[in-house]
Chains A and B, each alone.
Chain A
């Protein structure tokens, strides 16, 4: 533990991440002002005592909106990574356990899915369905599918011939029991590391999709959406574009540092 406390990257990442989670938690019950309340007299103001981070084009309090926006980011991050991991693990288990043509087919499918960064899936899906935060979750989640599938598959290929698995099979364990009780628990660690890497990527992607109008819809606050609105007023009110972007960058930085620090601490041999 003392080693962890001396690790600058880890501490910095932990601090920023804790701040974000705290902000999101507080915003559930309290914001300085109503994030949806408009005030035509207070449009596009810079930072002041009444509005520490200024106001947007409808006079809504930016601090409150950024606070509530943190919920959106976290929620989309968690669900998108959950979708990618859940579906990826299923593909990876089937590929790695059964092998053969199933494996070959799934891996080519994963190659194809890699051709669809979040922005392309989102374009495609919003062409057919109305843009919404759910679509951005799915579009972002899909992009994580291949990496989780490949990780799980690699673990399963390695585990398949290990003694404890062979022994369990010899004792009469069925496919289901082998996978769920003996093999899956041994693949959890790399999956968790990958999840910490994917989470900030999801937050960036959500911001980009909302910015393009393919994600969270107004009037609900989302950091990317706020930047979309701010763009029209860049000359009038630069603060409006600066604060939400800072929130995104700080959040992503925090999670990246935390992830790097964790990997360093968990695996002292890795020095990159």
Chain B
């Protein structure tokens, strides 16, 4: 995993510091006076050789120092932490909705294999996979805010105004965000359960005369959940990236809006910091899922 994270940081560094030629001119514009450019170059360390810059940047990042935001003139790491108070709950809410809706539905579809309930579930999941998350968000706003007036059409007052209100403003975005992954997970669950139901030990359990309920919950589900949980784990990272898009639909002050705003104001350290952070989180989650998979399924061993 260390090697993978090293590659992540190299990719970010190459795109932001190497490809553009001179990041200082990029940030200040071509009309900036040479003195201003020189001052920014010196303060950001851009006047030193690239390998030195990289080592300093990554050394700082490991210690939690991602540089200073040009626009806000505060440490980037602090900005990320403060914006996480929106992005993280949004991601986790979407994940919870996804898991609690998709797994029961997938199990249900599997037990109704090739019958009406199965076909309805699969149709629903086909639609969930086809609908773009941000459009689902717009439709939810259209229905629940513009038409019914039950929810605000966006914005976030912060956790200081009460947990209930904060959760309410995250609910519609979380539904829209979780929809796609919900559909994927429902399909995964269905095929995992179907697969297990064909196994010999399930036949044995049935032959012993156990009730279908007991067969399903005691014998089938426990094994079917192994692939389901690993897929759900990988989806967690995808949800975090997806929240960047939903934050724009609902005007939520999270990591995504921070990064998009930083692009407009050419605040390179912020973009670089946010992307490095989110990409690293995804890589760590993926690696953790790999390990978890090995622990859950004793047949899988890594060399």
Contact = CB atoms under 8 A, between A and B. Distances in A.
Contacts of B272: 124, 127
B260 A212 contact: yes
Contact of A111 (B241, B263, B283): B283
Nearest to A235: B146
A208 B279 contact: no
A249 B132 contact: yes
A213 B260 CA distance: 9
A253 B16 contact: no
Contacts, number: 154
B130 A111 contact: no
Given A123-B259, A123-B263, A207-B132, A253 B4 contact: no
Contacts of A123: 244, 259-260, 263, 271, 274-275
B7 A116 contact: no
Nearest to A116: B279
B129 A124 contact: no
Interface in B237-252: 237-238, 241-242, 244-245, 248-249
B8 A212 contact: no
A64 B118 CA distance: 38
A271 B114 CA distance: 10
A29 interface: no
A108 B4 contact: yes
A168 interface: no
Q: Is the interface of A mostly helix, strand, loop or mixed?
A: helix
A213 B5 CA distance: 29
Contact of B248 (A129, A212, A245): A212
Contacts of B141: 234
A114 B259 CA distance: 20
A235 B142 CA distance: 7
Given A113-B11, A235-B146, A124 B280 contact: no
B282 interface: yes
A112 B283 contact: yes
A177 interface: no
Contacts of B215: none
Nearest to A254: B130
B245 A115 contact: no
10 contacts: A114-B282, A120-B275, A123-B259, A123-B275, A124-B272, A212-B244, A231-B249, A241-B138, A249-B132, A253-B126
Interface of A: 108-109, 111-117, 119-120, 123-129, 200, 204, 207-208, 211-213, 224, 227, 230-231, 234-235, 238, 241-242, 245, 248-250, 252-253, 256-257, 271-272
Given A112-B4, A127-B272, A234-B142, 16 more contacts: A115-B279, A115-B280, A115-B283, A119-B256, A123-B244, A123-B275, A128-B268, A208-B133, A211-B245, A212-B245, A227-B138, A241-B139, A245-B138, A252-B130, A256-B126, A271-B194
